[in-house]
Homo-oligomer: A and B are copies of this chain.
Amino acid sequence: MRYARLFGKTVREAPHEVRSPSQALLIQAGYIRPLGQGLFSELHLATRVLSRIKRVIRHEMDGLGGQEVKVPLVNPYDIWRRGGRAAFVRRGMVRFSDRDGHDLVLSPSHEEAMVQLVKDSLHSYRDLPVFLYQFQTKYRDEERARSGLIRAKEFVMKDGYSFHRSTYELNNFFPKMFAAYERIFRRCGISCVSAESGVGFMGGEKAFEFLMPSSSGDDVVIICDNCGYRANREIAKGIKETTDEPLRETELVETPGCTTMGKLATTLGVSPARLAKALVYRTQGGFVMAVVRGDYGISEEKLSKILRKPILGLAGASDLESLDLIPGFLSPIGREDLTVVVDDLIARSHNLVYGANTMNRHLVNGNFGRDFFSETIADIAQVNRSDRCLQCHSPLRAERAIEVGNIFKLGDFYTRRLNLQVQDERGKRLYPHMGSYGIGLGRLLSCIVEAHADDRGIRWPEILAPYRVYLMGIGKSPAVKRFVESLYCEFEDEILLDDRLESPGVKFKDADLLGIPLRVVVSPQLLEKREVELQERSTGKTWHVPADRLSALLKARIEERVDV
C-alpha cells in the first residue's frame, strides 16, 4: 500500500474528549474514527489488524472443533422473554417493532439465538458435543460508552457456544477453552490475568474473565499475590475483620447535613468502619434495602445473586419518598416492613452508627439482632483493602484492568428455559449443558495497542501488524526511487510505502506512530555504499544491511513470523 493513497492519515492531536490512551493512539495513527457516542468506524489499517486477530482466534477455535456460523444481530424478543433475560431490555437492550408488528431486539449477546439454532438442528444426543462460534456485531446501550473501542455500543465479538450431554462433559471442555484463551492472548502479545467473575446478566453457574491490568480499565480485579487467588471485585471474597465489644445503649444524635459516609465520619470523629451504610435498590420484585459497613461498597452482583433477581438500579428520590425514607438518613432500624439484606459483617459488628430515618439525625450504637433483624444475612460487600485472602490469609490488593474476554459455564440455564432437549441412549430426555465464550475484538485491539505503545506511538506485534514493513526513500535520486519501487513491487501486500512529499522527519514520526514492526530507509548516501538502514520498532534497534540481501532478508522475516 502506498501511504499517499491510504485513506485516513495520521493526525497530530487526538480529540479532547478521548479518555483512554489506546483510543487516542488509534485515532491519531488513523486506525479508527468516531461516528457517534459509542460508535466507531474502522479505517483500512484497523480492518487489516482485525483480520489478523480473527485468524489467530479462528485457529484456536477450530483447534477445539469449533464450527464458524452466524446468527442474526436482530432477534425476536420472544426468545429473550422465554430465556429469562427480558428484564435487561430496560438496561441496555434496544427493542423495536417491524412493520408486521414483530417484537424485535438488537441482541447484546447471542445465547438465545444460538440455543434456537441448535434446537432447530439437533436431532440426537449423538450430535453432542457441539461447539459453534461466530464473529458478529452486538449492540449494548452502555451507560459508560466513553472509552473508545473498550466500551463501544456497537462492537464485534467472537462469541462461542458449546453444548454438552452433561455437566461432566462441560467441565471437561471448559479448561480446554480456558487454555485456548490464554494462548490467544499470548499470541496477541498481551498478558492477561484470569479471574473469577460474576455471571451478571448472562445467567448460569460460573464465569471467568480475562483481564489486562491497566490504569484506564473499568474493571477492578482483586489479587492475592501469595496464593494466586484472583477475582473480579464484584464477586471477590475476603476475610472481613471486626472486633468484639460489649453492646452499648443506642443514642440519637444530631447530624445536620451528614448525608455521606465521609461527612458523617468527620462530624462524629469516628472511622467509616464504625458506620453502617444502607442503600435501596429497585429489583424486579420491588425495593430492597442493602446494608454494609461504612468502609465497604455494595456488590450489586452479589446482591443480585442472593435475591435471585436482577438489580434494576438504585432507587431514586421519588422512590425513597414513596417508601417514607429520607435520603442520607436511611436505616433498617424500625423498618420491619422493608425487605432488608444485611452483609454478614454488619451482623458481626457491634455499636455502629445507623441512620435514624429522621432528617439530620443518626442513631449511635445500633446493633443487628438487638435493634433490628433480617433473615437475609450474606456477603454483599465489595472486597476492601483491609480484607485478607480467604485461602491463605495474606493481604489482598486491587488492580484496575480491562476485561478482554470471558467464559461462562451456563449449565442448563438457557436450554431448560428455551426447551432444547434431546433423548439420551436410554430414551431419557436431557437438557444439554452449555458454555459461552466471548472476546470483544475492539477491546482486544485496544489492549494490544495499550500493552505495546511507547511515547512515540503504537508497536504492533509482528503477526498482527497491518503491514510488516514501513518503507521510505530519502531525496529524489532516481537510484533510490528505482530501488524503493522494485522492493515495493516484490512485497506489495506487506509493505506500507511512504511515498509522500514530506520531510524525512515527518515520515519518521509517522512511522513510529503507525507502529509497523520494521522500518526500511533507503538513502542516497547509504545506497552508494550498497546498503540500506533497518530499524525495529519494538526495540528501536537500528542496523545496516547490504542492499542486495534485503529482499531475501524480508522474505525470510515475513515467512518466519507467520503465526498461523
Contact = CB atoms under 8 A, between A and B. Distances in A.
A47 B33 contact: no
A121 B7 contact: yes
A536 interface: no
A33 B117 contact: yes
A139 interface: yes
A33 B137 contact: no
Given A9-B123, A72-B40, A121-B9, A98 B35 contact: no
Contacts of A96: 94, 96
A47 B54 CA distance: 14
A102 interface: yes
B154 A74 contact: yes
B76 A121 contact: no
Nearest to A67: B44
A210 to B, nearest CB: 25
Contacts of A94: 96, 98
Contacts of A38: 98
Interface string A27-40: 00010010111111
Given A123-B9, A143-B99, A47 B72 contact: no
Interface in A25-60: 30, 33, 35-44, 46-48
A64 to B, nearest CB: 12
A323 B132 CA distance: 58
Interface in A104-139: 104, 106, 113, 116-118, 120-123, 126-127, 130, 132, 137, 139
**Max count, chain B CB within 10 A of own CB: residue among A35, A38, A76:** A35
Interface in A3-40: 4-9, 30, 33, 35-40
Given A35-B72, A68-B47, A154-B72, A98 B141 contact: yes
A75 interface: yes
Nearest to A78: B36
B100 A37 contact: yes
Given A42-B70, A153-B74, A65 B5 contact: yes
B75 A39 contact: yes
Contact of A74 (B39, B67, B117): B39
Contacts of A30: 121
A37 B121 contact: no
Given A41-B113, A70-B42, A33 B75 contact: no
A75 B127 contact: no
Interface in A58-94: 65, 67-76, 92, 94
Given A33-B117, A72-B41, A154-B74, A7 B99 contact: no
A149 B96 CA distance: 22
Nearest to A163: B7
A130 B7 contact: yes
A104 B145 CA distance: 15
Interface of A: 4-9, 30, 33, 35-44, 46-48, 65, 67-76, 92, 94, 96, 98-100, 102, 104, 106, 113, 116-118, 120-123, 126-127, 130, 132, 137, 139, 141, 143, 153-154
6 contacts: A8-B121, A35-B75, A41-B70, A43-B69, A44-B69, A73-B73
